[in-house]
């Protein structure tokens, strides 16, 4: 990983800058903005999704994720956290959808601690279910989110990236998504002209839908994200939100044919990336806990190493809740899955 700062003085700069960012004070020693999306993608390297389903958003005192977990993530060999944001229930309905100050206070805390630990941060707008149900009527609240978040964090260092929307799907069709993303990107660019932005294709950020993704040709500071959970009957066996998934229990993974399918899928995405000169982030991947552990390890390791061989960054799903990489209750890494992501000899 390329470090953005070096030495003890640099750490003090990060901490001072982070504490100052949200008060609006000047940052004379802040690193210059890095406009190159490929360099940003290289800096992100390995990462993990965090706190999307943590009680922290409703009651900070009830949080599972603690400040020290940022240090654990960094020392564990990860360079990036993707913060999954579900803001809709924290937005007013009669005041231009204003986000609550308590919600912003929590996000400020997360950003400050991530930056103090020299982590890259993706602010991931994760309201994919609500947006998919009724996108036209949710469009204004969606855009209002970026009207508030983008200017608030316009002075954060280049470590901070904005992801416009996680997994557009269903009624938010690939065609409609192309319209929405252009409007949201324009809002972001008004206050963050050089911010690296993450955008994925429609239909759950699936690789085959890259061909339908339309990005502004003159905006090169975009990292394109894809999610990978194929084969679904393996990765989601027994998952309670997937109808009929108990019927898939016992599905294993690891044959040569299984591996060839992963390589073919990821190479399809890389072919699109090469043709369009865009870097790729594998924003989510993993296998649910009810699959057998040996298959899960083989799958997680093979997908991660294949992505890395193509020059991609990744953010594994996820630190806590389900598909876990770290057992918060035990205060320890979920060792088999963790080592599938970060090999022991590195």
Q: Over the stretch 4-23, which tens digit does the pLDDT of each residue have?
A: 333 333 333 343 444 445 54
pLDDT value at residue 26: 38
250, part of any domain: yes
For residue 206, is pLDDT > 60? yes
Q: What does residue 48 show for φ and ψ, rounded to 5 degrees? A: -150, 145
Which residues have a Cβ under 8 Å from the Cβ of 266 and sit 6 or more positions away? 207, 228, 303, 306, 307, 310, 312
Determine the 3-state secondary structure of 294 from DSSP.
helix
pLDDT value at residue 133: 93
173, part of any domain: yes
DSSP string, 206-274: -GGGGGG----TT---EEEEEEE--SHHHHTTT-TTSTTGGGGTT-----HHHHHHHHHHHHHHHHHHH
In the chain, % of residues over pLDDT 90: 88
CA 94 from centre of chain: 30
pLDDT value at residue 14: 41
Q: Over the stretch 80-123, which tens digit does the pLDDT of each residue have?
A: 999 999 999 999 987 889 999 999 999 999 999 999 999 999 99
172, part of any domain: yes
Here the tokens at position 54 are: 């943590």
Please tell me what DSSP assigns to residue 57: G
In whole angstroms, give the CA distance from residue 143 to residue 182.
11
1, part of any domain: no
In whole angstroms, give the CA distance from residue 344 to residue 346.
6
For residue 141, is pLDDT > 80? yes
Task: Calculate Rg over the CA atoms of the chain.
Answer: 19
pLDDT value at residue 5: 31
114, part of any domain: yes
2, part of any domain: no
Q: Over the stretch 37-91, which tens digit does the pLDDT of each residue have?
A: 999 999 999 999 999 999 999 999 999 999 999 999 999 999 999 999 999 999 9
Domain range spanning residue 223?
7-341
Query: Tokens 């993530």 belong to which residue?
Result: 73
Average pLDDT of the chain? 92
Examine residue 318 and say whether the peptide bond preceding it is cis (omega within 30 degrees of 0).
Answer: yes
pLDDT value at residue 32: 52
pLDDT value at residue 95: 82
Residue 132 sits in a domain whose CATH number is 3.20.20.80
In the chain, % of residues over pLDDT 70: 90
Strand partners, 198: 163, 223
Rounded to an integer, the average pLDDT of 165-180 is 98
The structural domain count of the chain equals 1
Of 114, 9, 32, 14, the C-alpha closest to 67 is 114
Contact 288, 237 (CB under 8 A): yes
Res. 315 pLDDT band, cuts 50 70 90: very high
Better pLDDT: 228 or 26: 228
Of 198, 219, 147, 231, the C-alpha closest to 313 is 198
In whole angstroms, give the CA distance from residue 236 to residue 332.
24
pLDDT value at residue 292: 97
346, part of any domain: no
Please tell me what DSSP assigns to residue 286: -
Q: Over the stretch 244-262, which tens digit does the pLDDT of each residue have?
A: 999 999 999 999 999 999 9
pTM: 0.91
């Amino acid at each position: 990983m390329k470090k953005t700062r070096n030495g003890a003085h640099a750490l003090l700069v990060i901490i001072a800058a982070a504490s100052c960012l949200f008060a609006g004070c000047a940052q004379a020693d802040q690193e210059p903005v890095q406009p190159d999306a490929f360099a940003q993608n290289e800096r992100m390297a390995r990462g993990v999704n965090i706190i999307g389903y943590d009680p922290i958003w409703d009651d900070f005192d009830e949080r599972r994720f603690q400040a020290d977990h940022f240090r654990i993530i960094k020392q564990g060999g990860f360079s990036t956290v993707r913060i999954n944001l579900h803001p809709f229930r924290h937005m007013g309905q009669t005041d231009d959808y204003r986000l609550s100050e308590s919600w912003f206070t929590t996000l400020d805390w997360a950003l400050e601690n991530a930056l103090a630990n020299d982590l890259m941060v993706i602010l991931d707008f994760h309201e994919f279910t609500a947006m998919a149900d009724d996108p036209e009527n949710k469009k204004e609240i969606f855009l209002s989110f970026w009207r508030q978040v983008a200017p608030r964090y316009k002075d954060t260092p280049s470590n901070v990236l904005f992801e416009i929307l996680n997994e557009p799907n269903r009624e938010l069709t690939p065609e409609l998504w192309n319209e929405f993303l252009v409007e949201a990107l324009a809002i972001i660019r008004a206050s963050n002209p050089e911010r690296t932005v993450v955008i994925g294709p429609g239909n759950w950020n699936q690789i085959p839908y890259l061909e339908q993704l339309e990005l502004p040709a003159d905006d090169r500071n975009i990292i394109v994200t894809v999610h990978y959970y194929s084969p679904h009957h393996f990765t989601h066996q027994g998952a309670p939100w997937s109808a009929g998934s108990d019927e898939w229990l016992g599905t294993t993974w690891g044959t040569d044919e299984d591996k060839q399918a992963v390589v073919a899928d990821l190479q399809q995405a890389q072919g699109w990336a090469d043709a369009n000169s865009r870097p790729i982030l594998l924003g989510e991947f993993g296998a649910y806990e009810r699959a057998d552990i040996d298959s899960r390890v083989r799958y997680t390791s093979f997908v991660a190493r294949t992505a890395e061989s193509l020059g991609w960054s990744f953010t594994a799903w996820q630190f806590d809740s389900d598909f876990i990489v770290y057992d918060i209750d035990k205060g320890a890494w979920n060792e088999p899955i963790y080592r599938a992501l970060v090999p022991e000899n590195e």
